Amino acid sequence: MMAISSLSSGLTVTAGGWERVNLLALPAVATIGIALIWFALRQRAEKAAAA
């Protein structure tokens, strides 16, 4: 992940500029958010089932 992000950052900033670098980071951050929401809902459902 680190190697890919390092290499692709150079390609992106030189080809598309700083704005594109940031726009490309958005879906990755959103993926983390979705994964966390999924896990929190799963945890809540498990607790409800156990209660």
Q: Considering the rule CB under 8 A, would residue 42 count as an interface residue with other proteins?
A: yes
Q: For residues 21 and 9, is the Cβ–Cβ distance under 8 A?
A: yes
3-state class (DSSP) for residue 51: coil
Tokens linked to 33: 């958010």
3-state class (DSSP) for residue 1: coil
**Per-residue contact flags (x/-) with other proteins for residues 8 to 37, judged by CB under 8 A:** xxxxxxxx-xxx-xxxxxx-xx-xxx-xx-
Pick one of 4, 48, 49, 50: the residue that binds other proteins (CB under 8 A): 4
Binding site for other proteins (CB under 8 A): 1-15, 17-19, 21-26, 28-29, 31-33, 35-36, 38-40, 42-43
